[in-house]
Amino acid sequence: MPYAGLIERYREYLPVGRNTRIISLCEGSTPMVLAHNLGGAIHPKLEIWLKYEGLNPTGSFKDRGMTMAITKAVEEGFQAVMCASTGNTSASAAAYAARAGIKCVVLIPDGKIAFGKLSQAMIHGAKVIQVKGNFDEALTLVRRITETQPIALVNSINPFRIQGQKTGAFEIIDDFDGIAPDFQAMPVGNAGNITAYWKGYKEYREVGKVNSLPRMLGFQAAGSAPIVLGHPVEKPQTFATAIRIGNPASWASAEAARDESGGVIGMVTDHEIRRAYEMLAATEGIFCEPASASSIAGLVKLAQNGYFEEHKPRTGDRLRVVCILTGHGLKDPDSAIKSAEEPVTVEPKEEEILEAIGLLEAAGV
């Protein structure tokens, strides 16, 4: 049978019954790509693997949580779901709700979400409401409304979202034949995903699938770094709009993941994120969205600060790091176009093209 999505793959670890109607778009089981150009360049001691979550059906890791959240919302009889979103959650909720045949309402910060994500929520038929405020304000409203209305909340404070997203950790352990990587690096926004991965690793250890656990490395954008600063940020800023969040809902569990794993939650500037974003695309052929590149930017920073010197690899002679590339670059074409060299425009003539690519003399024209 063709692949049927992550709930089928990890059914025994998920709260679904034999008769549960599974709402799936065949998410999960994403590629793990060895960053052979970038790894050594960041630090010779590192072996960096890229978990390409942008290849999920709606282009981000949110599909892992959404297949569970929508499956359970339908099972519980809800006819509508709602979320606040910096873009990806709304795209995913809209798609899975469409597949389930239920309504979806999304609250997004006005003008602060990437265009690809907006287009997804719209084409899947969600009711898109732009709030003249930030994500944190939108989430507060969604929490309040779903408390009294017959609408299921599908943000990551919904525990089924975390259940679905924990399967990312299972896949990593399965890919490496039961050996945990030394580190896992990822962006942190509302902090649901770091919570979910940590839960997944711990559960896999409990059932004996793995003996050791990775250190969790989470990265926030410097203008939106409440966990690093130790207080909420009222007006979060960053061009990595996916993680433009000033008061993460899963703050405490993100800190627990950091502390229990002996990891770090750090911050990276927009400049550092942009460099990492460009480097990934230019040297590995991997196009992720800016927020996702903060995991690479964070590794660069830790490497420069000598962080990896004090650690010994679990296996082999290099430290194995898995970076979660949470969203596809096509989500945010504007950021790519702003980052890269502009195309040249020429007449439809061979010599003009050869000149543009610097081959005019070589061709002897």
Q: Which stretch binds ligand F0G (CB under 6 A): 69-77, 80-88, 145-153, 338-346?
A: 80-88
Q: Which stretch binds ligand F0G (CB under 6 A): 81-89, 140-148, 168-176, 202-210?
A: 81-89
The reply on whether position 192 binds ligand F0G by CB under 6 A is: yes
The reply on whether position 291 binds ligand F0G by CB under 6 A is: yes
> Rounded to whole angstroms, what are the CA distances from 336 to 91, 167, 186, 339, 341?
20, 30, 20, 5, 10
The reply on whether position 134 binds ligand F0G by CB under 6 A is: no
Shortest distance (Å) from residue 119 CB to ligand F0G: 14
The Cα–Cα gap between 124 and 63 comes to 14
Residue 112 tokens read as 């602060």
Which residue shows structure tokens 């799936």? 24
Residue 41 or 141: the one with the smaller Cβ distance to ligand F0G is 141
The DSSP call for residue 55 is G
Contact with ligand F0G (CB under 6 A) among 22, 154, 185, 188: 188
Residue 71 or 89: the one with the smaller Cβ distance to ligand F0G is 89
Question: Of 296, 264, 268, which is closest to residue 37 (Cα–Cα)?
Answer: 296
The reply on whether position 86 binds ligand F0G by CB under 6 A is: yes
Residue 71 or 326: the one with the smaller Cβ distance to ligand F0G is 326
Q: Count interface residues toward ligand F0G (CB under 6 A).
A: 22
Residue 146 or 292: the one with the smaller Cβ distance to ligand F0G is 292
The Cα–Cα gap between 328 and 51 comes to 11
Extended beta strands in the chain, E state: 32-34, 46-52, 80-84, 103-109, 127-131, 152-153, 183-187, 215-221, 264-268, 319-325
The reply on whether position 156 binds ligand F0G by CB under 6 A is: yes
**Is residue 69 classed as helix, strand or coil in its secondary structure?**
helix
The Cα–Cα gap between 78 and 284 comes to 43
Contact with ligand F0G (CB under 6 A) among 85, 158, 167, 261: 85
The reply on whether position 189 binds ligand F0G by CB under 6 A is: yes
The reply on whether position 220 binds ligand F0G by CB under 6 A is: no
Radius of gyration of the chain (CA): 21
* Contact residues for ligand F0G, defined by CB under 6 A: 60, 62, 85-89, 156, 187-193, 242-243, 289, 291-292, 326-327
